[in-house]
Amino acid sequence: MDFPSSSFPKIHPLDKITLILSCHQYEQYEYYSQLLPNVEKAVGRKEVRYFIDGSELINDICNEWGECLTRLNRADKLQLMGAIAETLYYLELNKGEELNEVTSEAISHLINDIPVDSYQALLSGLLDDSGKPITYHIDGYEVIDCMVEEFGQYLQGLDDIDHYKALYRISWAGAGILEGQGEPISICSETVEETCNRLHELGSPSDGLYLMQAINANLQ
């Protein structure tokens, strides 16, 4: 049932989380989530459709795992990101693109020198398309300084194939670390494979980068 907006009392922004936490029944949550459409953002999440929309694949992803992927744990999300990035990597490899030997060494240092709790910031820097330097997202590590020196502050010297390789290796390394810490990878491998096989539905397989941005933004 649709209610006129005037029938709702005004709610102070600081009361939003308290209000949602008080909703113990699913029906209550549905009611208040309409009343407070920004509640997911209030706890640090953004809907997948904020980053990419307009395809049946995105509809299926949101139906399966939630609009903000809340039905996946961190290890699952990193596993999915890694699979998407690897798919894009092999598409570039099949085009005849060649890897930069320096990249593999840099990726190993990134994985070993940066703690897993900072992987979200690291991946944000690798996925940034807003014109911000990588140091906007993550700084204070010698390996990041080396990345900037080698590839530029916007990583403009990193070819697509090397870019995708960095994304899938870091994502999978993070998933493995979290699994070792007791956060199991429970996402169905067949579902992950199906998602990767349907990346073309986004308009272009490379639009998988926007899907990775959405996953990374909800990595909590």
What is the tens place of the pLDDT at every residue in 166-207? 999 999 999 999 999 999 999 999 999 999 999 999 998 889
Q: Is residue 50 part of a domain?
A: no
Instruction: Say yes or no: 96 and 169 in one domain.
Output: yes
Q: Is residue 137 part of a domain?
A: yes
Instruction: Say yes or no: 172 and 203 in one domain.
Output: yes
Q: In sequence order, which ranges of the chain are alpha helices (DSSP H)?
A: 16-21, 26-35, 39-42, 48-51, 56-65, 74-94, 101-113, 119-127, 134-137, 142-151, 160-180, 189-197, 208-217
Instruction: Say yes or no: 131 and 80 in one domain.
Output: yes
Instruction: Say yes or no: 26 and 80 in one domain.
Output: no
What average pLDDT does the chain have? 84
Instruction: Say yes or no: 170 and 76 in one domain.
Output: yes
Instruction: Say yes or no: 102 and 168 in one domain.
Output: yes
- CA 158-163-167 angle, to 5 degrees, is 145
Instruction: Say yes or no: 109 and 193 in one domain.
Output: yes
What global pTM score does this model have?
0.79
Predicted confidence at residue 44, as pLDDT, reads: 60
Instruction: Say yes or no: 37 and 70 in one domain.
Output: no
Q: Is residue 51 part of a domain?
A: no
Structural domain span for residue 9? 5-43
Predicted confidence at residue 206, as pLDDT, reads: 87
In the predicted model, is pLDDT for residue 6 greater than 60?
no
* Token representation of residue 71: 């039905």
In the predicted model, is pLDDT for residue 69 greater than 80?
yes
What is the tally of structural domains in the chain?
2
In total, the chain counts a number of residues equal to 220
Q: Is residue 49 part of a domain?
A: no
Predicted confidence at residue 163, as pLDDT, reads: 95
Q: Is residue 143 part of a domain?
A: yes
**Nearest-angstrom CA–CA distance, 112 and 98:** 24
**Nearest-angstrom CA–CA distance, 46 and 32:** 17
Instruction: Say yes or no: 129 and 192 in one domain.
Output: yes
Q: Is residue 48 part of a domain?
A: no
Instruction: Say yes or no: 11 and 86 in one domain.
Output: no
DSSP label at residue 218 = T
Rg of the chain over Cα atoms, rounded to whole angstroms, equals 19
Predicted confidence at residue 84, as pLDDT, reads: 97
Give Cβ neighbours of residue 24 (< 8 Å, ≥ 6 apart). Answer: none
Q: Is residue 116 part of a domain?
A: yes
